[in-house]
A and B are shown apart, each in its own frame.
Chain A
Amino acid sequence: QVQLQESGPGLVKPSETLSLTCTVSGDSITSYYWSWIRQPAGKGLEWIGRMYNGGSPNYNPSLKSRVSMSVDTSKKQVSLTLTSVTAADTAVYYCTRGGGGYDYSDRWGQGILVTVSS
């Protein structure tokens, strides 16, 4: 049974860089899309971007200048970096797997709350 676990700092200062890692267990990391999705408290879901092993990432244009993603197949990890964070980036960040080689998210991590505050 595939499991996704997000990790990283829970508190980031304004203007600094948010870095998160998603570790995949129980299945291959290849042949799937991997996405990051975030959710501010009490609000809806926002897609941040996706990666496919060996391919170019796609990012949400609303974040494109600040976001980058990468996949480390040897460690079975997917990483997210978001630069120049503000309070508006405070949210629960989820790592997800695209089902069947497509983009619907069939597996989700438990999420990690990241708070941007000084």
Chain B
Amino acid sequence: DIVMTQSPDSLAMSLGERATITCKSSQNVLYDSTNRNYLAWYQQKPGQPPKLLIYWASTRESGVPDRFIGSGSGTDFTLTISSLQAEDVAVYYCQQYYSVPLTFGGGTKVEIK
């Protein structure tokens, strides 16, 4: 199984600040023949199902604000919220869909300081 490790477990930033979450996979999730990273990011607010933010490591889902930026390749990935807003308070998960079983990181809780 590919193990996904997120850090930090939680972070508290002021409104307008940049928040950065990292995700490391235990194996490469870049598929050579397509040059695509099989890595997604989700946002989960309390009492709601997760919501897809980013797929292919850096492609924003339709309707997702452009302050959410996904980057990275191979085994190291980052989700950046360029200017933290109150509505961004949530838990964020990375997921690899390179191979089954699909696996998730442990989550990063983002709060406002």
A interface residues with partner B (beta carbon < 8 Å):
35, 44-47, 50, 58-62, 94, 98-99, 102-106, 108-111
Contacts and interface: CB of A to CB of B under 8 A. Distances in A.
Contacts, number: 58
Contacts of B95: 45, 104-105
B103 interface: yes
B100 interface: yes
A60 B55 contact: no
B104 interface: yes
Given A45-B104, A47-B102, A99-B55, A108 B50 contact: yes
A22 to B, nearest CB: 12
A92 B39 CA distance: 23
Interface in B31-80: 38, 40, 42, 49-52, 55, 61
Contact of B101 (A61, A105, A106, A109): A61
Contacts of B107: 44-45
Contact of B106 (A44, A47, A58): A44
A111 B106 CA distance: 19
Name which of B38, B50, B51, B103 has the most chain A CB atoms within 10 A of its CB. Answer: B50
Contacts of B38: 102-104
Contacts of B52: 99, 104-106
Given A45-B50, A99-B52, A60 B97 contact: no
